[in-house]
Amino acid sequence: MPTEFTVHPNLGVVVSRGHGVFTHADFLDHMTRLRADPQFQPDLHQIVDCRAIAKMDLSHDQIKSLAGRSIFSARSRRAFVVSSDLHYGLTRMFAAYREIKAGQEVMVFDNPAAALSWLGLPSEFNLDAAAKTVGA
């Protein structure tokens, strides 16, 4: 399973991480598992670490469809951290559709520190260690 997450209710954030080949089914599975987590609340913010994703195997139509579904409220801020121009473009497409469909603030970063700052997380927050717990 190429996704994991940790809910940090005390910081008001969910840290999600993907790795390997990431597909439409993986995205849906991640949403289902996260929604079922007893610590999850829709108003939490989210940071998605995409740096270990080797390939995003998603079509334009799938990205558009996924942007129309969310378990997060419109008040949630969502930050994606990417490490390639291709992943930046695909993730930015998702962000644009999400903003249009729900008015949700979604930003894409190539710098984890900038993403953490935008979400108001402390500078000492360790993104690499934060998603080590696999979501149930």
How does pLDDT run across 12-56, given as a tens digit for each residue?
Answer: 999 999 999 999 999 999 999 999 999 999 999 999 999 999 999
Q: Are 134 and 29 in contact (CB under 8 A)?
A: no
In terms of CATH, what superfamily is 3-130?
STAS domain (3.30.750.24)
Q: What is the mean pLDDT of residues 121-135?
A: 73
Closest CA to 120 of 1, 8, 3: 8
Please state, as a whole number, how many other Cβ atoms lie within 10 Å of the Cβ of residue 132: 11
Res 134: pLDDT: 41
How does pLDDT run across 91-121, given as a tens digit for each residue?
Answer: 999 999 999 988 899 999 999 999 999 999 9
Residue recorded with tokens 């603030």: 105
Res 39: pLDDT: 97
Residue recorded with tokens 């949630």: 76
Q: Where are the beta strands (DSSP E) in 1-136?
A: 3-8, 13-23, 45-57, 77-81, 105-109
Domain boundaries of the chain, sorted by first residue: 3-130
Q: Are 58 and 93 in contact (CB under 8 A)?
A: no
In which order are the strands placed within the sheet that holds 13-23? 3-8, 13-23, 45-57, 77-81, 105-109
